[in-house]
Structures are given as structure tokens and as C-alpha cells.
Chains A and B, each alone.
Chain A
Amino acid sequence: MTDVAVVGFAQARSERHSPATTNGVEMLVPIFHEVFGATGLTKADVDFWCSGSSDYLAGRAFSFVSAVDAIGAFPPVMESHVEMDGAWALYEAWLKVLTGEAEIALAYGFGKSSAGTLRRVLALQLDPYLVAPLWPDSVSIAALQARLGIEAGLWSEQDMAEVAVRSRSSAITNAHAQLSGSTSAAELLCEPYIADPLRAHDCAPVSDGAAVVILATGSRASELCARPAWITGFEHRIDSASLGARDLTTAPSAVAAGAAAGAGRAQVAELHAPFTHQEIILRRALGLDAGNDRSGDGARINPSGGALCGNPMFAAGLARIGSAAAEIMSGRADVALGHATSGPALQQNLVCVMEAP
């Protein structure tokens, strides 16, 4: 099989209210510039472009077509789009490289979550017949999941708060993070519920932002990057859309994707967990904690601070893969895992395992 590596990554700073338009151009132009600068590539070198974004988030039709202005798509380019997180755009780009149709492929994702009421807009990803007509918001659905795990004794509000504390502490060194700082679980647990049993620290902030990742084939990757992050496993799976018919305290689709991609060997993992308890579910599903059948230490989790410190919709999953790749490119890790989720309550999960040369 063709060897493919991540050779470049850039992201916009996550912001609560970006003055940018919902077509993403203002957030994308600077990060394209940055990633081209770092790799020495130009737009003419990119054989395939793929984006992830949502018209529901933008409140306008074909916002991804306007975003193509940021590419400078003349002469015409080979381009595609997924109405999903940019991580799935990266998956399409990876397939394009594997099929031999591209040597260099670029995936990007962008979202201006602040344009509407995010937790209400996300109701539209639910079953449109029997669930979406009730407009259950994304935070309430996550709360239903969190309580199931708490009452089953799988995690506690204390465990959840500790995830938030570690995430914010890690984000202190991440210039792109929206939230960061030192706090304690005891302090956080004094805050009121926003959707019992979730408090504000359990929920990712509403974020505007964008991310870009560049892939290259074996022959090109080593020229472009001293330590390319070679993709050794790239898998995604989905669970039933019926929230009441599956066990919400785990994520079978994450288990399956992780097993197929070789998640257990990761030394570091960037997990796309928009809620604290979902990080706990994912760590277990992907076998990242110490113990069980894992030899040695557990993986380092979310050195960037993760989605809890900045969650630009349709870019945050791609940014997890980019951040994991950066751990390898910088020499901090030899095996890294990037994860992305989509849908309510971790319904769909994607795992990308990358290794050093």
C-alpha cells in the first residue's frame, strides 16, 4: 500500500466570537499561508483539496463554495467537500492519495459556531422524524449520557472535573486555545449545573476556528518534512442513530475503529471529546489508560488541551489529528493517535494512528 504521511498542520486560534464571515475565508487564508510557508509548498503543488463544514452552521447555502476563494482556485483545482468535520475530509484526501490520483492532498475544516445558537443548531443532526422535532439540544443529550455513566459507577463528577482541570492546564502552552489556566476539581465542583449533571467546565466552549492538514506520499513526504507522521491506521465507524436503543456509556464505533487502526500502541492521543465524560469513554474505548491489556504507561492525553479548550465545529476533529501529528513531527512522540467524533453522544468515531519514520 502507498505510504502516506501528514507533513503539515496549521490552525486558527479558537475564538468565542470571530468577526469572520461564515464562509471561512478570513480564517483560512492565514493558515493556508502558514502551512505553505512551513512546508515550502504552493497551491500549485496540491493535487487534491477537500473541506469539511456545514451549511446549517453557516446559515447559508453552499458556504463551502465561497470558502474556495481562500484557495485561489485558478486554474481550476480538483476539490471535494464533506458536510462533516474536516477529519472526514482528511479521510477522503487520504483515499485519494492511496488511489494514486494525488501525491499531495490538503484537507481543511472551518466553522463559525457563534453565528447561531450552536446547541440548538446541532439538534438538526438528530433523527428528523421522531427526535429533532422536539429540538433537544446537544448539551442536554450529553447530560443524559453523563448521568448513565455516573449512575452505573463508571465515572463520577469528580473524575469529569479532573479531566477539565488537566485539559485547561495543558492548554496553557497552546497559543491557539480558547480556554486555559490552573484550577482545581474542588473549585470547579462548586459551580452550578448547566444541564444536571453537567457544569460549564464539562462542556467544550462555543468556538469559531479553522484547521488545515497536508498529506504527502512516501516519495514526497521526506522532502517536505524532517519527521513526517506516517499514517499506519485510519478507520471510522458509526453507531445507531437511535439514542435510546444503544448503550450510551460506551462507544462501540470507537472501540471498533481503534482496534482496526491499532490505537493501543499510541504514546500520545488527541481525543475529540466535547464533554469531559466523553474523554473518559474514549480513553477506555481506545485502550489508552494504563492497565488492562496495555503494557507500560497510559498514553498522554490531549497535550493541546483538546476540544474542551477550543472546539471549532467541523475543524476541531481535524485539529486533533494535526495536533497528534505535530507530536511526531516535533519528536515528542513516535506513535500518536488523532481522533474525531461526529453526531450526538459519540455516535460516529474516526481514529488516525501515525508513527515516526
Chain B
Amino acid sequence: MTSSAGQPLHAPLEISFDYTRSLGPTLSEFVTALAGRRLLGARASDGRVHAPPFEFDSATGAPPAEFIEVGPAGTVVTWTWTDRPLEGQPLGHPFGWALIRPDGADTALLHAVDAGAAGAMATGMRVRPRWSDRAGSGITDIACFEPESSAGPAGQADGSGASDKAHGEPAETVTMITTPVRLSYDHTVSPGESAYLLALAQGRLIGQRCPACGKVYLPPRGACPVDGVPTKDEVELPDTGIVTTFCVVNVPFHGQKFPSPYVAASVLIDGADIAFQHLILGCPPDEVRMGLRVRAVWKPREEWDVGHNIDHFEPTGEPDAPYDSYARHL
């Protein structure tokens, strides 16, 4: 995490997920044909051949009655040029995007054209697919399109690319594709959270008090969720508190750091009005109870960073807090 003068802390945040998508009957037919190096379309009720095929006719709602082979070569209907490709796009060097109408179709599909330079792109230009080495991945089975005028490997008269080994083979029906999504963000915390994290890096706990209702939020929330007003008054808090509620974790899971059973608890720091979650160690799980007095056990000083400096909480040995003292914080 970094902070420039007066600005809240921020840090890179990468999120990713591999979506698996069931294709359904129509797209399954289309994607299976792609794996066999063929392009399919379907005729709609208005007589137009759609490629890719529609799943449901926009006028009648009916699925395609039959599939029609189109292309795979086609004509550029419109285009643009990308000098700086973004992550995930079909080519890593400058390329054209185009809507391409496959021969025999009345609609166009979107894909990349590896034309070398913007000057080589033109509406009406003839292009053919360059097939990827993969088969069954979906639309990315087409690595990109390329100008028909470019010198292709021998035997490419039908528009297929270099690796047309699947051509003509009965492909296994593709019913599912995986579409990875990865996004990068610069994640910013609120000014209150910044103050909290920077204080934690110094071994202190900082909360903020709502100017309207007087409640103390730890960590600070930026605005009081009761009153909707900014919370700006900082309050220094001790590292002791009570367990308001807890659970014993018995189920092992991926990424688990402690052997089960162990206790995750809501800890209400003395002087705060909202509890946060933390670990309770230092006693058998069956001795943890509501109202148990606990104190923070800090990591060794040399391991401190911005954010995770309290290792866990442990019992202080003091008498339990009476229920009434925390009943309003459950």
C-alpha cells in the first residue's frame, strides 16, 4: 500500500475468475463447428442468414430450424485500428477490429484482423480466419482474421489457417466453454480507513466518532451508517475488549492457516460501538464464551506492516463482562 501526501492509501487489486459457460443447443452447434474449422449461420424468419446463429428468432422466438455453413472467408463491413492492444485481446501487436460478414451470411461477426498497419485496412476488404492451435475454446478458436491477399501457408485456398488438423474430422460436441476474466484495479481505502491502517502500523487502534449520535466506529466507516454524516473525530482506543459472539471452526477449507478447531469471534474493543472479527487463541475453544475479556497479541515488531499487525486475541483472565454491557452490540 502506498500513500501520497494527504491522499488515502491505495494498492493494486487483481481479481480473476474462470467462468464456465454452458452453451445451449445453438451455440454448442456453432462452437463445435468452429472446432472443426467451419463457420455456421442460421436463417431467420425474415430470410436473413445470421452468423453466428441466433439462439431465438427475434420475430418469432423460435430456435434455428437448420444451420447453414457460411464463409469462413468474408468481407469487412466496418473497422477500426488498435495501436496498443489491451490484455486478453486476440493479438499482442497493433491490429484492426472489424465487423466481418462471412460469405453467404447477412450479418457480421466481430473479430480482430492482423493487417499489419491501419493503412492496410479497408471496408470491403476480403479476410479469412487464421485458426488457433486450440480447438473447442469457442470464438478464440479463430486466432484472428487475416487479409486474403496475404501469403498464407500452402493449401489455404479454403481460408483455413495453418493448423487445420481438425478440418473434416468429426469433432466431439462442445457443450461448455471456459471464459477467464481478469481485471486490475487501483483500490483506494477511505480517509478514515487510511488513518486506521497507518495507526495500526504504529501499534495503535484508531476509531472515529459520529458527530450526531456519538457512536465510535472501529474501523472507521467514512460515514455513520445511522446518520449518514461523515465521521471525522478520531478516538484512540485500547487493544482490549470482549467477545460478543463467536463460532468454533471445525471444517477444514482451502487456504486454512490454523488447525481446526479454532475460534473466530466478534471482538468489541473497549470504547468502540461496533465489533470486528478476529481470532481467539490462547485457550481451548470450548472455554471461549460471550463476555470473555480479551487483549490483542501483536505480531513481533519486525513483522509489522500496514494492516495485519494483530496476530490474534487471547483471554486476559479478568472476570467476564456482564451481558447488559454488550447486549446492544450484538
B-binding residues in A (CB < 8 A): 19-22, 25-26, 29, 32, 43, 56, 59-60, 68-74, 112, 114-117, 119-121, 123-124, 128-137, 140-141, 143-145, 147-148, 151, 193, 195-198, 240, 242-245, 248
Contacts and interface: CB of A to CB of B under 8 A. Distances in A.
Interface in B115-169: 118, 123, 138-140
Contact of A43 (B81, B118, B228): B228
Interface stretch (B187-195, B264-272, B292-300, B319-327): B187-195
B183 interface: yes
A74 B226 contact: yes
Q: Which 10 A-B pairs have the closest CB atoms?
A: A72-B228, A244-B108, A143-B80, A135-B88, A59-B185, A74-B226, A245-B107, A69-B225, A72-B227, A196-B81
Given A117-B86, A128-B179, A144 B189 contact: no
B90 interface: yes
A244 B109 contact: yes
B177 A129 contact: yes
Contacts of A141: 97, 110
Given A25-B222, A147-B123, A32 B228 contact: yes
A134 B78 contact: no
A198 B99 contact: no
A183 to B, nearest CB: 24
Interface in B224-272: 224-230
Given A19-B8, A21-B189, A144-B97, A130 B52 contact: yes
A128 to B, nearest CB: 6
B179 A133 contact: yes
A71 B224 CA distance: 9
Given A29-B230, A135-B88, A144-B98, A121 B183 contact: yes
Contact of B187 (A115, A196, A197, A243): A115
9 contacts: A19-B7, A21-B189, A69-B225, A120-B87, A129-B139, A129-B179, A134-B112, A143-B97, A147-B123
B21 interface: yes
A135 B179 CA distance: 11
A115 B188 contact: yes
Interface in B74-115: 77-82, 86-90, 97-99, 101, 107-112
Nearest to A244: B108
Nearest to A57: B185
Contacts, number: 173
A242 B110 CA distance: 10
A130 B228 contact: no
Contacts of B222: 21, 25-26, 69
Contacts of A240: 58
A56 B138 CA distance: 23
Contact of B89 (A56, A74, A134): A134
B107 to A, nearest CB: 4
A25 B111 contact: no
B50 A22 contact: no
Nearest to A112: B188
Contact of A72 (B30, B77, B223): B223
Nearest to A139: B80
Counting chain B CB atoms within 10 Å of each CB, the highest count among A29, A72, A121 belongs to: A72
Contacts of B330: none
A245 B53 CA distance: 10
Contacts of A56: 183
B228 A129 contact: no
Contact of A135 (B86, B184, B186): B86
